[in-house]
Amino acid sequence: MEPFEPYEFFESLLQRGINPGLEGIKALLKELGNPQDRLCFIHIAGTNGKGSTAAYISGILTEAGIKNGLFTSPFVTDRRESIQLDSAYIPEPEFKRVGLEIKKAADKLSADGIEVTEFEAMTAAAIKFFADSGCAVAVLEAGMGGRLDATNIIENTAAAVLTSISLDHTDFLGDTVEKIAGEKAGIIKKGCAVVTSASQSEEAYAVIKEKAEKEGAELYTVKPESEDLKFDRVCFSKTNESESEIKLAQAISVSNKYQKENAMLAVMAVKALEGRIGKVSDGAIKAGIEKTFCPARLEVISKKPFILLDGGHNEAAITALKDYLESKLGGKRLLGLVSMMKDKDYKRAAELIGNKFVKIIAAQCANPRAVDSSVLADVFSPYCKTKAVPSPDDALKTAFEELEDYDALIVFGSFYLAAEIRPKLTKEAKVYSDEENLETCLT
């Protein structure tokens, strides 16, 4: 009998695709003894920013000495990135141990006609590992939606965090912001703290507020004071019976307005739970945010040549990337390397950002959901020069052959692309997260 390889096992489940609903994860966790019942959760859902917000929360808890687990997806650097204990990847032996437990349970369910998906298996692996490790808090990022997301099998939700909500996964979640917000707000449980931002659209905020009131959950609203949000001293004060405001002062190195808001949501979530998890000092908050690293979120891979990696894949994320390019790299000759999934609005992405590039190299990820590179090249062709290549490896080789004619390489469109290409990008270059020394990068 060949030794069990957890990486191969989880990868093999990708072919089963997406299966919204709680039946599979419920059956899987039951086979494992319902480990979710032994944990307290902070649950994060939203269209954009939920992975960063979850990572910030975990970072703060780690610095405060509160044992915590973090589950996020998709991974960029290593599959173990999705399951972390106190801000460190799950150890290889534990990943193998818990992976084997998941496989045995999944095989038993398969014999009964229940096919567990990759996301369900990873969610169950994370929850089992966190329960076995005795975590005081488990931080879960929802995958898609919320109400029917596998992570929503939990009941002991201490805080539900709703990040920026916009149109995405419309085939599954609905074709309006209100419908999508309703699905995301499905993570709100009776009596939990609910954290969101005043920058939500009126439609999304109204849905969140209504759901919070229905569940008897207290709503905490982050109200950014300015784009120059700063973070050393934290003032936390109630503004009325159902809403609270957080104000932050002193400088901290959070690079852009989107990450600043995500960091504020994280601080608000932790502060809202102090009565339950214990006092969290300002120093732990500052250190937790400063030490948190989120790969492929406007990540500067190299200064020279200048290379930026971003996994954003929906309209809001592509708009954020466009804003970044306009503000930081305006007037520069940009070479793009893109791959996107079939269920994303890649035509809209081309409309939004295509004219920011002199040339786009389109590639097709190994993921079965990826758009054919020739189709992607055709979509971008009205806005810039394009070239279709069969794989990210070929695209990267082409990009480096041509990069001397450009000021910067922008790799974007998918976290799956980021996962495939990042090791090669970073092999010879030091990683510079976010905007570190960006003003001098192109001199």
Domains of the chain: 6-291 (3.40.1190.10), 299-440 (3.90.190.20)
pLDDT for res 257 = 62
What string of pLDDT tens digits covers the 443 residues of the chain? 678 899 999 999 988 887 778 999 999 999 999 999 999 999 999 988 899 899 999 999 999 999 999 999 888 888 999 999 999 999 999 999 999 999 999 999 999 999 999 999 999 999 999 999 999 999 999 988 888 999 999 999 999 999 988 766 555 565 688 889 999 999 999 999 999 988 888 999 999 999 999 999 999 988 755 444 444 444 444 444 444 444 443 334 455 566 778 888 999 899 889 888 888 988 898 889 888 887 888 888 888 889 999 988 788 889 889 988 998 898 899 999 999 988 888 999 999 999 999 999 999 988 878 999 999 999 999 999 999 999 999 999 999 999 999 999 999 999 889 988 888 887 755 554 444 443 433 33
Pair type for strands 306-310 and 408-412: parallel
Q: What is the DSSP string of 205-234?
A: HHHHHHHHHHTTPEEEEE----SS---SEE
CA–chain centroid gap for 415, Å, is 9
pLDDT for res 1 = 62
Q: In the chain, what is the greatest distance between 2 CA atoms, to the nearest angstrom?
A: 63
pLDDT for res 429 = 58
Q: What is the DSSP string of 245-305?
A: EEEEES-----SHHHHHHHHHHHHHHHHTHHHH----HHHHHHHHHH---TTSSEEEETTT
pLDDT for res 357 = 97
User: Cα-flanking dihedrals φ and ψ of residue 65, to 5°?
Assistant: 80, 20
pLDDT for res 119 = 94
pLDDT for res 5 = 92
pLDDT for res 25 = 96
